[in-house]
Structure 1
Amino acid sequence: MKETITDTWLVVPLYNEGEVIADVIQQAKKIFPFILCVDDGSKDDSAAQALAAGAYVLKHPVNLGQGASLQTGIDFVLKQTSAKYLITFDADGQHQPEDARAMHTLAEANDLGIVFGSRFMGTPIESGWLKRITLQAVAYLSRYRTGLKLSDAHNGLRLLRRDAAQAVNLTQNRMAHASEIMGQLAATKLPYAEAPVHIRYTDYSRAKGQSLLNSINILVDLVIR
């Protein structure tokens, strides 16, 4: 049995995911005992479910957006002296804890400051053709804007070493934060790499219908900036 990873916190933005968050936390805790959920004004029992599953929980009294949740989580983890890394991790079950473990292993082996997850390395992604094209366009524009040579520039599964996390100061609360964090991480000039990850598009996540819209919003933000 592989050991748990105790120098890393998962930061999980949480908004109305009460149906699945307990299972997400329980699966992730098999590898990462330290998990912080930032409940962003959920209207359901997401916070209670996450707490009962063993996560630490911080709560925003009102919905501020994913960028605000990430910044709240990053600020909290940086106060934990034992935290060498943090990993941003989605609450809806799309991310795989084993992928996060592999990213940690890669960072440790190569002294990396940042590891970006990529859907375009390894197994084919499960999404439709329009989303794939949109993601590839986002990656192309991000390379132009930031200089980061990535195949999947806005994957929510990313590992930050403490020095990389200290450079993040998100002011864009909603989808524009995805471009903002890329620019801030690029400015660090820290060594980075991509790691293959599998995004699991479940019936639950497809029913929410947010994935393609978020990608399009990010692309529009890159074009108009």
Structure 2
Amino acid sequence: MENSSPASYHDTWLVIPCYNEGAVIHDVIENARQTFPNIVAVNDGSADDSATQIHASGAHLVNHPVNLGQGAAIQTGVEYARSQPGAQYFVTFDADGQHQVKDVVNMLARLRQEPVDIIVGTRFGRPRKEDDQVPLIKRIVLKTVVMLSPRTRRLGLTDAHNGLRVFNKKVADELNLRMNGMSHASEFVSLMDEMKWRVSEEPVDILYTEYSMSKGQSLINGVNILADGLLARKLP
């Protein structure tokens, strides 16, 4: 593993889309900034104190005046990050504490060394009891989406809706997400295929906290992902 001091990542930007995560976003950013000094968090029209917490954390804050959806927040954040001097590597990182800094460090080490443009996290890449990692409903839905998506299978992805991604400047410059909601994940996969980005996966640990589970994310996102997968089935 490469040096994980903040000085090692002056060329790396974390992009964090945020909607009503005021209860946790400060701690998430504070933890990530111990390794990654460059973070932009996009407050996507939150009704709580997310913007205040982001500002207090020391991250760069970009505000959407209204809620536009995660896809739009990611696009805004990437556009901001790619305009910064020296920015070469980019990370999409969730605001709710589910993603782990150690996984980003490992993924970036690979991205710097291997002939790939983007590495996507997967919850299904290690020999383990899957129910320790992914709730049953979400596990079924995620695997169903892979079966329904020819693009996902063609790219060799096992977990196309994992929000943890690291990518280089080529991908950042060419990224143009137009689907604002949860469907941006399938659009991301479509762009990987259409733009011929060199893609790989990395096994990661997703921390399903009491906080994230209390928000009902597993079921709600599961329904959204499955609907998205049915839409993706119609794509070539």
Same fold (TM over 0.5): yes
In 2: Cα distance, 1:2 partner to 1:223 partner: 40
Q: Is the 8 A contact 1:168 1:185 kept in 2?
A: no
Q: CA deviation at 1:140?
A: 2.5
Which residue is 1:153 aligned to?
160
Amino acid across the alignment from 1:91: A
Please give the secondary structure, in 2, of the residue aligned with 1:175: coil
Which residue is 1:83 aligned to?
87
* 1:38 matches 2:42: yes
Q: Which of 206, 210, 218 is matched with 2:213 structurally?
A: 206
Which residue is 1:27 aligned to?
31
Q: Is the 8 A contact 2:89 2:169 kept in 1?
A: yes
| Structure 1 residue ranges, 4+ long, deviating more than 6 angstroms after superposition | none
Amino acid across the alignment from 2:52: A
Q: Which runs of 5+ in 2 are unaligned?
A: none
In 2: Cα distance, 1:2 partner to 1:114 partner: 20
Which residue is 1:14 aligned to?
18
In 2: Cα distance, 1:85 partner to 1:212 partner: 32
In 2: Cα distance, 1:207 partner to 1:126 partner: 17
Which residue is 2:5 aligned to?
3
Q: Which of 177, 195, 207 is matched with 1:170 structurally?
A: 177
Which residue is 2:77 aligned to?
73
Q: CA deviation at 1:211?
A: 2.8
Please give the secondary structure, in 2, of the residue aligned with 1:213: helix
* 1:181 matches 2:188: yes
Amino acid across the alignment from 1:37: A
* 1:130 matches 2:128: no
Please give the secondary structure, in 1, of the residue aligned with 2:41: strand
Q: CA deviation at 1:19?
A: 0.6
In 2: Cα distance, 1:106 partner to 1:202 partner: 28
Q: CA deviation at 1:218?
A: 2.1
Q: CA deviation at 1:170?
A: 1.2
Q: Is the 8 A contact 2:135 2:218 kept in 1?
A: no
Q: CA deviation at 1:44?
A: 0.9
Please give the secondary structure, in 1, of the residue aligned with 2:121: strand
In 2: Cα distance, 1:215 partner to 1:155 partner: 12
In 1: Cα distance, 2:146 partner to 2:39 partner: 29
**TM-score, normalization by structure 2:** 0.90
Which residue is 2:58 aligned to?
54
In 1: Cα distance, 2:42 partner to 2:19 partner: 8
In 2: Cα distance, 1:61 partner to 1:75 partner: 17
CA RMSD of aligned residues (A): 1.5
Q: CA deviation at 1:222?
A: 2.5
* Percent of aligned positions that are identical: 48
In 2: Cα distance, 1:152 partner to 1:75 partner: 25
